[in-house]
Amino acid sequence: MDYREEMKQLRDFLNQQSYLYYVLDAPVIPDYEYDRLNRRLEELEAEHPEEITPDSPTQRVGDKILEGFETYDHPVPLESLQDVFNGDEVAEFCGRMAEALGEAVAYSVEPKVDGLSVALEYRDGVFVRGATRGDGRVGEDVTENLKTVRSIPMTLPDKLPRLIVRGEVYMSRAVFAELNAQRELQGKPLMANPRNAAAGSLRQLDPKVCAERKLDIQVFNLQLAEGKTFSSHAETLDYMASQHFKVIPHKTLTGTAAVQAEIERINDERMDYPFDIDGAVVKVDHLADRERLGSTAKFPKWAVAFKYPPEKKYSRVTDIVVQVGRTGVLTPKAVLEPVRLAGTTVTNATLHNQDFIAEKDIRVGDTVLVQKAGEIIPEILEVDLTKRPEGTVPYVLPDTCPVCGAPVVRDEDGAAARCTGAECPAQLLRNLTHFASRGAMDIDGCGPAVVQQLVDAGLVRTAADLYTLHAAEVAKLDRLGDKSAENLIRAIENSKANDLSRLLYGLGIRQVGEKAAKVLAARLGSMEALMAATEEELTAIPDVGAITARCITEYFAGAQARDLIARLAAAGVNMTSTAAPVGDLLTGRTFVLTGELTAFSRKEAGEKLEALGAKVSGSVSKKTFCVVAGEAAGSKLRKAQELGVPVIDEAAFLTLIGEGEGDAAAVLASLDQAQTPAP
C-alpha cells in the first residue's frame, strides 16, 4: 500500500475511534490497539513530514510553548444571558414571549454548564481557530489548547465554507478530583473548583499542560453556517451532533408549566451530569422568532438563564476531627448530623483552619447553617447561638500532630497549621513521590503508582527505606515483574551519587525549591554545614530570606529529620555538593529569556545565568536588566522594546556567560551603560 494511502486510512480510522470514545462514550477497540495504530501514524509522519495534515490525531498536542495569546474578533458576538432567580421570573419571561409571538411558543431548556465559553471556527470542514468569549466581541485565540480537547473534532463530515459553533469547556468532576489528588501529592495548592481549573488550564501557554488536564466540551449554539439554513434551534443541535460535536442535553417544550418542570428536573438530577451546572437556560426555539425579538444592549430578548439558589439547611456539629494532609497541613472537619443538600447527603464540612473556627466560634454541639460552596463543597455559614447547649467550649487545634506526635507550627505567611515531622506517616505518599521526582532525586520508575504499592505492601515507610529495597520483593508488586524491578533498583542505586542540591530539594523542606536548594548546596558545600547553620548565617546567603532560614533551622531541629538524614547517609547517599562555586559576575541583575536558543534549552540557559549570580524571571518589567532573545521571540521581546529594556541575541549571551567569542566584561559594560538614561 502507498504510504499516503496508509496515512489517510490511519487518520480516518483513529479520528472515528476518537469520536466513538470521547463523544459517544462507546469505544470499540482497546486502548492498546489505538495506541499501536497512533504510533504507526507517528512513524509515517516522521518519515514524510510533508504529508502531515491538520486533522491528524498526532497534531492535537503542540510542541511549541506560546509567548502569549493573540486577540480574536468574534464574527458573531458571543452574547451573555439575563439571569432569573425564581419561578415567578420564569413565568414573566414566558409571558412576554407569548405576548410577542403567540400562545404556542416552543422553548429549548438546557443545563447551564459551569465552565468557560468558547467559539470554534471551521473552514471547509477543518478546525482552524478557537477563542475564548472575552467580552463577547473580542476574545483570546486559544486554538492550540483547544486542539488538546479530544471531544472537539478536527474535521467535520460536511465541508461548509465556514462554520462557527459555541460551546462550554469544562473539567469533569472526576478529572477535577484526580487533578487535586495529584497536586496534593506534589505539595501544590489545590484548585478551588472545576470551573476555575478549566479556565486556568485553557489559558496555559504550554499546550501539553492543557492536554494533561483532560478538558471536555458541550456545544450549545450554532453561530454561523455558510451555505446551510435551519428553522429551529433544535435542528441546529441535531445538525451539530451529526457533525460529531458533543451537544448539550436539551428538551423542546411548550408552555410555562412544562418549562418550570424541566428546570426542576435538571436541578434534581444535576449530580448525574459529569460536569457542574449553575443553572438552566431557557431559549425560544424558532430562529425566525429570535430574529423578530432581537436583543437589548446587553442580552438577547429570547433567552434567560435560571440560576439555582444555594440550598441551605441546619444541622448539628457532633464532633470536630483533625486530618493531616499529604503536605502536613492540619485540616479540622466538622462531623454533622446527616442532612440532604443539592442532591447528596452531607455528613461533614471542612472548617479550613483555626482562624475560620474562631471567627465563626464553631463548637461541638452547635446548630449550624450549612450549604454547598459552588454546589460542591459543604461549608458552615453561621452558628445559631440561640440553640447553643450549655457547657460548650471554644475549639483549639492541637499543638502536636495527631498522627506522629511531632510539633505543629503555624505558617508565618498564612493561616495553615503544619506538622513538622519529616517521617510523618500521613505525609508519606507525598514525601516519597516528591523525593523520587525528576527535579529531586530523579528515580526513574518510582512514580505515584509505584510509591503507592511500595507503601501499601509495607516495604517503605520513609525515603531512606528506598535504599534497602531488593529486586525480588519489588518484582512481586502488581504490573512490575523482574525487569521493571531491576530497573527500579538500579535507578535508586544511581540516585545515591546525585548532587547535594537534589537531596535538599527532595527532602521537601518548606520554602526550599530547586533554585534555593542549588544556592544552599553551592554556598555551604555539605549537609553537615547546612544542618549546623544558624538563621543569621543562612540569611546572609543571597536569595535566602528570614522565613526560608527559619523553615530550614526548624526542619533540622526535628528528631525525625535528623534520623532520616542519618539513615540516608548510612545508605550511601551523597551529602556534599559537586557544583562549581557560584560566580558573582551577574549578581543582582535580572534576566528574561524569550524565543528559542540553539545552544541550550531555556532551562539550561537560565541555569548558566544563575551560576553567575543572576536572577531569571518569566516576565519583563522596568526592573529587568536584560532580555535574551532567541529565534521566534514574541511578546516578551515587544514588551522589552516598549519599556526600553536592553536586548541581546544568542551570540552576545554566549559571550556573557563565557562560552562564546568576545569579552564578557565588554558585553556587561555595554548593558550597564544602557541602564543609565541619556542626558
**pLDDT tens, position by position, 416-434:** 899 988 889 888 988 899 9
Question: Is the pLDDT confidence value at 81 over 70?
Answer: yes
* Active-site residue, 112 included: yes
Q: Which CATH superfamily is domain 420-582 in?
A: 5' to 3' exonuclease, C-terminal subdomain (1.10.150.20)
For domain 313-387, the question of CATH label 3.40.50.300 is answered with no
pLDDT greater at residue 663 or residue 108: 108
> What pLDDT, on a 0 to 100 scale, did the predictor assign at position 596?
87
How distant is the alpha carbon of residue 659 from its chain centre?
A: 38
The answer to whether residues 38 and 28 touch, using CB atoms and an 8 Å cutoff, is no
Report the half-sphere exposure of 645 (CA within 13 A, side-chain side). Answer: 23
Compute and round to an integer the Cα radius of gyration of the chain.
30
- Name which of 624, 622, 600, 602 is nearest 614 in CA terms: 624
Query: CATH 1.10.150.20 residue ranges in the chain?
Result: 420-582
Cell numbers for 643: 519599556
Q: Say which DSSP state 468 is in.
A: G
β-bridge partners, 117: 168
- Residues 420/328, Cβ–Cβ less than 8 Å: yes
Q: Tell me the CA distances in angstroms from 99 to 105, 290, 638, one per residue in order.
A: 10, 14, 56
What does residue 624 show for φ and ψ, rounded to 5 degrees?
-65, 130
Q: What pLDDT shows up at residue 67? A: 62
Over residues 146-160, the mean pLDDT reads: 95
Residue range(s) of every CATH 3.30.470.30 domain in the chain: 82-307
Position of cell 540569611?
539
Q: What is the pLDDT of residue 185?
A: 75
* Pairwise pLDDT comparison (148 vs 185), residue with the higher score: 148
Whether the predicted pLDDT of 65 surpasses 60: no
Q: What is 185-240 written as a DSSP string?
A: HTTPPPPS-HHHHHHHHHT-SSHHHHHHT--EEEEEEEEEETT---SBHHHHHHHH
Is the backbone of residue 140 left (phi > 0), alpha (psi -120 to 50) or beta? beta
At 63, the pLDDT band (50, 70, 90 cuts) reads very low
Strand, helix or coil at 342? coil
Mean pLDDT of 577-600: 82
Q: Is the pLDDT of residue 34 over 80?
A: no
First-to-final CA distance of the chain: 73
How deeply is 366 buried, as exposed, middle or buried, from its count of CB atoms within 10 A (0-12, 13-18, 19+)?
Answer: buried
Buried b (16+ CB within 10 A) or exposed e, 525-553: bebebbbebebebbbebeebeeebbbbbb
Ranges 141-145, 202-206, 317-321, 561-565: which has the least confidence: 202-206
Confidence of residue 580 (pLDDT cuts 50, 70, 90): low
Between 304 and 410, name the one with better pLDDT. 304
pLDDT at 629 over 90: yes
- Residue 169 · residue 216 · CB < 8 Å: yes
What would the grid cell of residue 250 be?
A: 436539551
Q: How confident is the model at residue 25 (pLDDT cuts 50, 70, 90)?
A: low
Q: Does pLDDT of 631 surpass 80?
A: yes
Q: What percent of the chain has pLDDT over 70?
A: 95
Residues of the chain with CATH 1.10.287.610: 3-60
In the chain, the percentage of residues whose pLDDT exceeds 90 is 57
CB 516 within 8 A of CB 543: yes
Concatenated DSSP letters for 390-417?
TT-------SB-TTT--BEEE-TTSS-E
* pLDDT over 50 (residue 679): no
- 233/603: higher pLDDT: 233
Closest CA to 200 of 184, 187, 183: 183
Does the global pTM surpass 0.75?
A: no
Q: Please answer whether residues 213 and 183 qualify as being in contact, where contact means their C-beta atoms are separated by less than 8 angstroms.
A: no
Report the half-sphere exposure of 124 (CA within 13 A, side-chain side).
2
Average pLDDT over residues 578-593: 79
Determine the topology of domain 82-307 in CATH: D-amino Acid Aminotransferase; Chain A, domain 1 (3.30.470)
Model pLDDT, residue 615: 85
So what's the pLDDT on residue 455? 92
For residue 123, the model assigns a pLDDT of 96
Greater confidence (676 vs 556) lies with 556
- What is the C-alpha separation between 5 and 130, in angstroms, rounded? 30
Q: Residue 291, class by beta-carbon neighbours within 10 Å (0-12 exposed, 13-18 middle, 19+ buried)?
A: exposed
Residue 266 gets the label, from left (phi > 0), alpha (psi -120 to 50) or beta, of: alpha
The confidence score (pLDDT) of residue 604 equals 85
What are the percentages of helix, strand and coil residues in the chain, rounded to 5? 40, 20, 40
Note whether 403 and 419 are within 8 A (CB): yes
How far apart CA 181 and CA 52 sit, in angstroms, is 37
Confidence category of residue 374, pLDDT binned at 50, 70, 90: low
Q: How many CA atoms lie within 13 A of 136 on its CB side?
A: 9
Of 336, 381, 373, 378, nearest to 356 (Cα)? 381
The C-alpha atoms of residue 656 and residue 672 are separated, in whole angstroms, by: 13
What is the C-alpha separation between 602 and 605, in angstroms, rounded?
5
Phi, psi of 485 (to 5 degrees): -65, -45
Q: What is the pLDDT of residue 544?
A: 87
- Cα–Cα distance, 574 to 424 (Å, whole number): 23
How far apart (Å, rounded) are the C-alpha atoms in residues 362 and 332? 11
Average per-residue pLDDT in the chain? 89
Q: Are 390 and 300 spatial neighbours (Cβ–Cβ below 8 Å)?
A: no
pLDDT surpasses 70 at 283: yes
Task: Pick the range with the lowest mean pLDDT from 136-145, 295-304, 606-615.
Answer: 606-615
The Cα–Cα gap between 564 and 435 comes to: 12
Residue 348's beta-bridge partner residues?
Answer: 335
Q: What is the pLDDT of residue 373?
A: 64
**Cβ pair 279, 112 in contact under 8 A:** yes
What is the pLDDT, as a whole number, of residue 268? 85
In this model, does residue 336 exceed pLDDT 90? yes
427-462, pLDDT tens digit by residue? 898 889 999 998 899 999 998 889 989 999 999 999
pLDDT at residue 219 is higher than 80:
yes
Q: Average the pLDDT over 373-386 and give the result.
A: 83
In the CATH hierarchy, which fold is given to the domain comprising 590-674?
Rossmann fold (3.40.50)
Q: Where in the chain is the domain with CATH 3.40.50.10190?
A: 590-674
CATH topology (fold) of 3-60: Helix Hairpins (1.10.287)
- 128-132's contacts with Cβ under 8 Å and 24+ in sequence apart are 128/54, 129/72, 131/72, 131/74, 132/202, 132/203
| Annotated catalytic residue within 112, 372, 608, 639 | 112
Tell me the per-residue pLDDT of 499-541, one tens digit each, with 9 for 90 and over: 999 999 999 898 898 888 988 998 899 999 999 999 999 998 8
Q: 596 forms bridges with which residues in the sheet? A: 631
Asked if pLDDT for residue 678 goes beyond 60, the answer is: no
Check residues 26 and 338 and name the one with the higher pLDDT: 338
Higher pLDDT, 141 or 2: 141
Is residue 79 classed as helix, strand or coil in its secondary structure?
A: coil
